[in-house]
Amino acid sequence: MAKALFCPTCRDVVLIDNENFPFCSDRCRLLDLGKWASGDYKISSPIQDPDLLEELSRSQRNKPSDDDVN
Ligand SMILES: [Zn+2]
């Protein structure tokens, strides 16, 4: 088992007995949480399924526009 790894925030070496493991410090842990909260870590995985893509575009095209009604 690894006794150390790199801090996800600042890439510093963190020992496993660090109280803030896997972060090197409380500051880096908070910074990482902040990144998630502010949406910096967007999970962007492009859709590769052509059938799903077609279905998505079709459903968007057929979506009635509520703006005209209201
Ligand atoms: Zn760090």
Give residue-wise pLDDT tens across range 5-29. Answer: 999 999 999 999 999 999 999 999 9
Using CA atoms in the order 20, 25, 28, 34, what is the torsion angle rounded to 10 degrees? Answer: 60
Residue 49 lies in a domain: no
Query: What separation in Å is there between the alpha carbon of 44 and the centre of ligand 1?
Result: 25
> What CATH number corresponds to the domain at position 26?
3.30.50.10
Residue 54 lies in a domain: no
Residue 2 lies in a domain: yes
Residue 68 lies in a domain: no
pTM score above 0.75:
no
β partners of residue 4: 15
Structural domain harbouring 21: 1-42
Domain count for the chain:
1
Query: What separation in Å is there between the alpha carbon of 15 and the centre of ligand 1?
Result: 11
pLDDT value of residue 46: 74
Token representation of residue 62: 């057929």
> Is the preceding peptide bond at 22 cis, omega within 30 degrees of 0?
yes
Residue 5 lies in a domain: yes
Segment 44-63 mean pLDDT:
79
Largest Cα–Cα separation, the chain: 63
Query: What separation in Å is there between the alpha carbon of 7 and the centre of ligand 1?
Result: 5
Q: Give residues whose Cβ lies within 5 Å of ion ligand 1.
A: 7, 9-10, 12, 24, 28
